[in-house]
Amino acid sequence: MSVLTWLMSLLMFGGSPKGDDTADIPKTIYEFKVESLDGGTIDFSEFKGKKILVVNTASKCGFTPQYAELEKLYETYKDKLVIVGFPANNFLSQEPGDNKQISEFCQKNYGVSFPMASKISVKGKNMAPIYRWLTNKDLNHYQSSSVKWNFQKYLLNEQGQLVGVFSPGTKPLSDEVVNAIKQ
């Protein structure tokens, strides 16, 4: 294929030369602003100087009881850690509720006080920009990953750099997670 043909196809069909659409994705975690469950805004720039644990959540999953450990982790380390939950319905429709139902579920069953974002998609063509950043090494400069299931955890350090990815089965109060937060 000639360069001219390639450029013409790029102009006609859009996209970037690498074949991904990351040009409009923020360069740092601190540039993200997402809608919260209550319709407000979660501004990640407010978390500078703290570690951030991003978790995709679901109300009808075998890992749903992790909400309790996430809340305990948040209460224990909230002077240096913020947890942001992202409800998603990507795995076996385990988060069928709307934002109001999710908020009520989290409050009633687990007393969740950490920030909870509006329901999003964490994989596929409708993947939310923040998850595109978290899962793409070209953007996060740490590693590429795919979200395996509900309650996968992404840890960012105090400078907003991705420093850890924990599997859904890794409990929030596990030594692995707690030690990474204490570092």
Catalytic positions, please? 61
CA 40 to chain centre: 17
SS3 state of residue 76:
helix
Alpha-carbon span 180 to 69, nearest angstrom: 16
Residue among 68, 28, 56, 32 at smallest CA distance from 124: 56
DSSP character at residue 118 = P
What do you get for the CA distance between the two ends of the chain, in Å?
A: 50
Q: Strands 51-57 and 81-87, how do they pair?
A: parallel
Alpha-carbon span 160 to 53, nearest angstrom: 11
